[in-house]
Structure 1
């Protein structure tokens, strides 16, 4: 999830959703933006195969040090590699074949030079040693950084959240969503008496005989850089299972009873998501909820949970309808990201709607599974009170910038509108499940998503996606009556917009297909007798 700050009309209060969203600048980009967001030969000539991260965390000094042993495959002959590490962190050394490599730093980019050109199709390993005081988040997860705090017993409690900001804030990596390691090992040395929880499976702990214990974890699936995580605290472990999936919960020791009660929701959630989206995409790495000192984040196989063991969003309903208080927002939303964002990943963060629109829609899917379609539609309709409709959902490519935060609620309502256009729920659920299965563990972009939905439905959906994603304005259905005849057309930014919809005409449903040109409708009634179910279609209506 990314940062959303909005005035919530229905509740009359200001709320924030989780995680960092970068501004939709539309220009005024710096070289630092390009170095982080663009794909150049220094990045594309290499494919990251594995991160083997070793890091020691000193909570008292807010200091970390370690090495990332990076295995890469050389795709094309190359002599220079770009890795990334925030400029406030120290590069201690970079070692290749037991020799230190030369490098140059430019903003957060580290350009590494090899002594001779590397042959294509060859695997290499680069050991990147580093240290320093990482940026501390002022208000995680809405700004990126480390969280050094203490639990109510005075014990250190440490975590980090860097979505949008970048994983290179705390460890060296190829910091772009287009390239994920196929696997990762995370070894975190924490003060004795504390536990570290990271992604994947626990593989053991080791007393380092220096006041620290190293906790080791292994991920066997591809993983986004920003999803690689550490969580240090006075944790206790709760274990359960769902079918062949291990469910593991790590919470502060004094919250065990609360967690056992609150996390019972995980199993009905899995019932729903397995049915609608397919099996959990990282069974080999297990499913975990980890209590964190911030609200939440979709860290793959180690979902961050900080919702206070309450239903809703910190006990509140983002939809203002009451439906959002029936379930725990963080458990459902962040877990849905395992399918949408962690398994299916956007190549450029300008396309983060691929993560957030589908995940927000998944909230309503869970509601529908538990309490029925009408509650799901009510929930989605309520979320519209937070849509701004002032910027495009898709951001600028190649500069590490996202589009509008409308990617959440407008994006979810767009998907619901497309479901209504398809007008066949069995077909819709098949379409959605096959989407998650087709692109499981893949990195995709907006055209890929649109092409999939068009080909599978044989419907002309490109103009529909384009209007919602590339323009701030909603489609407007215009109706007029002339000489006892009713005419309709779509008023849109996109040309050749032809979105069919069902009108309720004098109590009867009539399927019509307006275009951008005035088109005579197959009925003769007053405009007042024509209605649209606005819970099913996110559009504007005007009658002349």
Structure 2
């Protein structure tokens, strides 16, 4: 079966970077992945991030003021910043605080108790050369490039690697700041695009005006422009981003079913402006399909944006990174736009608490691609699309990994096996009205919320009225697949189907018949069963493997 080249490359990249997973997790993995008492003791509520970007030295300097609420009395807390980044000072109320470092973890000691229920803030001044991304976006870091006109093109991506590679924060998926202000100063002639809404642009006469009149040693005076962005919703740390280039900007609006208008912003390299105006026309039909299945775009006040980047793409909240060179696939759409924008629902709005449960982000979003095809081209086309996604399944490890150790999935199964799990469950439920009500209800109930695997399973069980737990558990927690054994015995006007599951523990319903419109539900177990079908001229009886992710053995 032929698969479009973009998906092959995507799978290959996923396989390549998967080997960051370790047979034994390190001390640093535990420091990053574990919600220890010195991290659980506070809830990050607001980040006030101020940065100056220095392309000539590929370095950054600035501060992050972390606002938080104490969840218990404490005098010691952990924040995170990569060890190669220098901390200049940590202070509270302009008074320096003592701190120590253990690799990428920073332990801050307070002279006064941070009392439960009280709000506080600390300011961390820092600088350094953030690590360079070798294979963005999967291998995190900064990318320092030049556009075709020789102007700087600088971006950051850090989903798996962690936002602490470039700014100090509480780098754990379970804690999202409620809002963020990003103030970014860049050399004159460049634009800095971040998340949320652009609040102000200030032109600075010289570098000495950047951030409290601090002058960096050895840097020649240079005019800077300061951009201030504000995110008004909770946001994953890894979704906070910077995109710096000589961008052109054009705008549009999307009108929701209720008549409310959503601001659309597009930032592209200037030579690509005209092609982008044509290519990005697919955004509004996409938003309409997603609204149909999952409700309105979740970050309405912050708007929706696509920002051109020198890497493939990333779901940065309200500033989706796009770098697929304005190419559509064989189905006539740009899967990077469709996939990364889908993460606004799964990953950005509905978010997991631990990297071990990243299936929640990727499985649902990859399934959204198939639903987009169904929405725009029909159900049978979506089945074709799903069959091509199936080629990427490896089934070597469970989709859920160990918790609390910054786990990284070793292959692309959280994408493709995950989407086939959901496609299978749709057919187990066997009622599209209930299925789509459940999907929309899921994104509504857990909008802008962290959620666990068990909460999702419980919700599906409740809304569908079926016990789907055994099927979720099988696909998520094991490598096991049901194996359906069957025989076909033709008679004059009928075909006798003999069938059973090879494993005594399997009991998932499946369908058999003469094609999509002519399937019937069968209920296999480990005992041989018989079902008689009337023959259909020109068609062969088959098991519906295009609707269920199972193995089949014809005997």
Match of residue 215 from structure 2: none
Report the CA distance shift for 1:474/1:206 in structure 2 as closer, same or farther (over 3 A). same
Report whether the alignment pairs 1:347 with 2:359. no
Given that residues 157 and 233 in structure 1 are in contact (C-alpha distance below 8 angstroms), is that contact kept between their aligned partners in structure 2?
yes
Alignment pair present for 1:16 and 2:10: yes
- The corresponding residue for 1:477 is 484
Q: Is the 8 A contact 1:95 1:101 kept in 2?
A: yes
The correspondence of residues 329-408 of structure 1 with structure 2, limited to 5 A, is 329-403=335-409, 404-408=411-415
Q: Distance in 2 between matches of 1:469 and 1:31?
A: 27
Secondary structure class of the residue paired with 1:463 = helix
Match of 1:303 in 2: 320
SS in 1 for 2:9: strand
Query: Residues 269 and 196 from structure 1, CA distance in 2 versus in 1: closer, same or farther, beyond 3 angstroms?
Result: same
Map 1:523-542; keep pairs closer than 5 Å.
523=532, 530-542=541-553
Partner of 1:316: none
**Offset at residue 425 of structure 1 (A):** 1.5
1:498 deviates by 2.6
1:432 aligns with 2:430: no
Among residues 206, 209, 224, which one is paired with 2:236 in the alignment?
224
* Greater alpha carbon shift after TM alignment, 41-50 vs 7-16: 7-16
1:164 and 2:160 are equivalent in the alignment: yes
Deviation at 1:208, TM superposition (A): 2.6
Q: Which of 396, 415, 425 is equivalent to 1:418?
A: 425
- For residue 300 of structure 2, the aligned residue among 283, 286, 298 is 283
Q: Would the aligned equivalents of 2:513 and 2:533 in 1 still touch at CA under 8 Å? A: no
Name structure 2 gaps, 5 residues minimum: 207-222, 256-260
In structure 2, distance between residues paired with 1:440 and 1:225: 17
Match of 1:238 in 2: 250
* Contact kept in structure 1, 2:70 and 2:118, CA below 8 Å: yes
What is the rounded CA distance, in whole Å, between the counterparts of 2:142 and 2:6 in structure 1?
32
Deviation at residue 414 of structure 1 after TM alignment: 1.1
Q: What is the rounded CA distance, in whole Å, between the counterparts of 1:147 and 1:460 in structure 2?
A: 47
Secondary structure of 1:309's aligned partner: coil
- Is contact 1:86-1:168 (8 Å) kept? yes
Helix, strand or coil for the counterpart of 1:105?
strand
Instruction: Give deviations 1:11-33, integer Å, cap 9, x for gaps.
Output: 69951357896548474111111
Q: 1:14 to 1:264 in 2, by over 3 A?
A: closer
8 Å Cα contact 2:199-2:228 kept in structure 1: yes
Equivalent position SS for 1:28: coil
Q: Secondary structure at the match of 1:408?
A: helix
Q: Measure the CA separation in 2 of the matches of 1:328 and 1:449.
A: 29
Structure 2 vs 1, CA of residues 541 and 387 (structure 1 numbering), >3 Å: closer, same or farther? same
Q: Under a length normalisation based on structure 1, what TM-score does the superposition of the two structures give?
A: 0.91
- Give the TM-score normalised by structure 2: 0.89
1:16 aligned counterpart, secondary structure = helix
- Aligned with 1:212 (options 215, 224, 227): 224
Partner SS for 2:381: helix
Instruction: Confirm or deny that 1:107 pairs with 2:119.
Output: no
Q: Distance in 1 between matches of 2:520 and 2:66?
A: 60
Aligned equivalents of 1:370, 1:13: Cα separation in 2:
20
Partner of 1:512: 522
Q: Deviations over 1:294-327 (max 9, x none)?
A: 1100000000000111112xxxxxxxxx43xx10
Q: Rate the CA distance shift 1:11–1:242 in 2: closer, same or farther, 3 A.
A: closer
2:118 corresponds to: 122
Aligned to 2:365, the other structure's residue is in SS state: helix
Residues 415 and 305 of structure 1, relative CA distance in 2, 3 Å threshold: same
Structure 2 counterpart SS, 1:447: helix
Instruction: Give 5+ residue unaligned stretches, structure 1.
Output: 1-6, 313-321
Residue 500 of structure 1: how far off its partner (Å): 1.3
* Equivalent residue number for residue 78 of structure 1: 74
Tell me how far 1:102 sits from its aligned partner: 0.8
Give the paired residue count. Answer: 522
Contact 1:463–1:498 (Cα < 8 Å) also in 2: no
Tell me the CA shift for residue 480 of structure 1. Answer: 5.6
Please say if residues 22 and 164 of structure 1, whose CA atoms lie closer than 8 Å, have aligned partners that are also in contact. no
Task: For residue 35 of structure 1, report the CA deviation from its aligned partner.
Answer: 0.3
Alpha-carbon distance in 2 for matches of 1:106, 1:489:
56
- Report the CA distance between 1:490 and its aligned residue: 3.0
Partner of 1:465: 472
Aligned-CA RMSD value: 2.4
Shift of residue 61, structure 1, vs aligned partner: 0.7
